[in-house]
Structure 1
Amino acid sequence: MLGTEFRTGSPVWIDLGSPDTDAAAAFYGAVFGWRFASAGPEAGGYGFFQKDGRTVAGLGPLTEQGAASSWMTYFRTEDAGATAREVVSAGGTVRAEPMTMGEATMAQFTDPQGAQFAVLHAPGGLEKASEDDTLVWVELHVADPAAAIGFYRGLFGWRTEEMRTPGMTYQVLSIRDGDQEEGSFGGVAPLRAGQDDAGQDDARWVPYFAVADADAVAAAVRGNGGTVVVPPANVPDVGRVAWLADPAQAVFAVLRPDPRQAA
């Protein structure tokens, strides 16, 4: 289960790059009840989404020419420079070279199939997870799941467990240390061209936020200028899931977990 005791390979941070951070703060405030706190004048517009006074995500302006708004998932590493070398050796690319900011070092990459991700070495990370309106899961959609698993296992030592779902085989990811079920944090699904009405068929990591009512959140997204990419639907033994996009077309998902899974 995704938590805030971070170990190598754990999702440790997520942030949103947006063309209009004020509009993004207003949208996610309306949808999840998040409040935005600036990191200060020296941070270039970067700041933190907070829930009940605890940080649940980051938000900043787009910094790359022609970049599209998107959510970025950061995984914990003990050495960002070594991870960068391993990414290149395994066929990926470095989008942002390792950089140090205070006690934190981060770097951003693109995997061999085109999905963007990042790594972070820092004393802390997200302050709340796996609660309503916080990150609960991350999911990779790629054309070749087996190749993707091999790539990321080489970086982080992740373990996988096969789960059969209607129409496909899903791979559940967990960190290499400790109990596999308790250490699970995400999954890998096969990418299918035109898999949804909005044409969201690029390789990507998708963050899932836990919610009390997926249908109500989908309605709030639509009512605040966003898009319902995949309408809420029940997934057996998982819960009720919807894929959504904010007004700048950054894709995310929500999950109302099946209460039997938490029993």
Structure 2
Amino acid sequence: MDASDSGRGTTGHVLGTPFWVEIASPDVDASRRFYGELFGWYAYTLTIGEYGDYVVFTLRDINGPGVGSMQRLADDTQAPSWSCYFYTADLEATLDDVRSAGGDTLMDPVNVAQMGNAALCSDTQGAEFALWEPLEPDLVPVAGEPGTMCWAELAARDIQAARRFYGAVFGWKAVDRDYYGAVYTDWEVDGWPAAGMVAMDERWPPDYPAHWIPYFQVADCDASAALAVELGARIRVPPSDVQNGRFSILTDPTGVRFAVLEPNPEARARFDPRR
């Protein structure tokens, strides 16, 4: 299936829009406490067959809208990280496109508690990302308010290769803009800014792999970064102004990288992928 022919799904999303986020944590209790206090998330646990315990994060309380999920690291060889999930209405067809573009399937499709079908993939540079095919139109994550994922960003060494790959898989259009003298890529899908990309240059350790990180919307970037530090996080990029607002990149107490973004009014109106 060509990405441009995917159409709009029953959830209101289109192929390639950010849909879900999931953390693989070496300490689920520590992660539960940290993100609960930072973003006001509630967490409840499902038991899913061979997966064992599967934690779902919601805003405010158990009846709040879903914002993400968590699993324990499979083993010590796996790096703790957030996985960014992108929407598809046809998981198998999108997996075919991933393979045709040179990517790999790292985890075969699985059903997650009847909420949706998911698969873990990697692009041509080894950056991991995931696909989500929801099974129920109402089981979609909330967006556009503090505590929700509002952006996904790829750090890659070969930005031309990344453009070719994600353009072929999701139909993303690359739009470059100046970022303090460097090139930053916005990816658009259906006229909506779906994700971004930054080039990994000499400032990155030579062995640091290409990777995706999620950005979570906050009401006050500086206050959220300060609270995160109080809760045990480390700041990697201090609060800084960018075109979409004010952001900071951090590492949580278990070593997982993420970012917070205080969007300006113009950006805030664009951060809900349901059109």
TM-score range, shorter chain: 0.7 to 0.9
Q: Which residue of 2 aligns with 1:37?
A: 44
Opposite residue 85 of structure 2, the aligned amino acid is: Y
What letter corresponds to residue 63 of structure 1 in structure 2? A
The aligned length equals 252
Aligned equivalent of 2:272: none
The offset of 1:213, in angstroms, is: 1.2
- Whether 2:123 is the aligned partner of 1:111: answer yes
* 1:50 maps onto 2:63 in alignment: no
Where in structure 2 are the equivalents of 1:235-254 lying within 5 Å? 235=242, 237-254=243-260
Alpha-carbon distance between aligned partners in 2 of 1:65 and 1:96, rounded to the nearest angstrom: 18
Which of residues 6, 17, 24 in structure 2 aligns to 1:17? 24
Name the CA shift for 1:136/1:261 in 2 (closer, same or farther; >3 Å): closer
Name whichever of 134-143 and 251-260 sits farther off: 251-260
Give yes or no for contact 1:35–1:50 (8 Å, CA) kept in 2.
yes
Alignment of 1:258 onto 2:267: no
4+ residue runs over 6 A deviation:
none
Cα deviation, residue 227, structure 1: 1.1
Task: Look up the match of 2:186.
Answer: 172
The question of 1:121 aligning with 2:127 is answered no
**1:143 maps to amino acid:** R
- Contact 2:216-2:261 at 8 Å conserved across structures: yes
CA contact under 8 A between 2:55 and 2:71: conserved in structure 1?
A: yes
Contact kept? 2:152, 2:195, Cα under 8 Å: yes
Query: 1:81 Cα deviation (Å)?
Result: 2.4
Deviation of the 1:41 alpha carbon? 6.6
SS of structure 2 residue aligned to 1:164 = strand
What amino acid sits opposite 2:117 in the alignment?
A: T
Q: TM-score, normalised to structure 2's length?
A: 0.84
The aligned residue for residue 154 of structure 2 is 140
Write the letter of the residue equivalent to 2:84: T
User: Structure 2 stretches of 5 or more lacking a match?
Assistant: 1-10, 270-275
The residue aligned with 2:4 is: none
Matches within 5 A, 1:85-104: 85-101=96-112, 102=114, 104=116
1:252 Cα deviation after fit: 0.5
| Cα contact 1:194–1:200 (8 A) shared by 2 | no
Matched AA of 1:86 = D
Question: 2:203 corresponds to which residue?
Answer: 194
CA distance in 1, matches of 2:124, 2:250: 26
TM-score (norm 1): 0.87
Matched, 1:153 2:167: yes
What's the % identity of the aligned pairs?
Answer: 36
| Residues in 1 aligned to 2:127 and 2:202: alpha-carbon distance in whole angstroms | 15
- Distance in 1, Cα, partners of 2:33 & 2:264: 29
Amino acid at match of 1:166: Y
Deviates more, 1:199-208 or 1:125-134: 199-208
- 148, 153, 163: which is aligned to 2:177? 163
Report SS of the residue matched to 1:91.
Answer: coil
User: How far apart, CA to CA, are the structure 2 residues paired with 1:28 and 1:117?
Assistant: 21
> Which stretch of the first structure deviates more once superposed, 132-141 or 75-84?
75-84
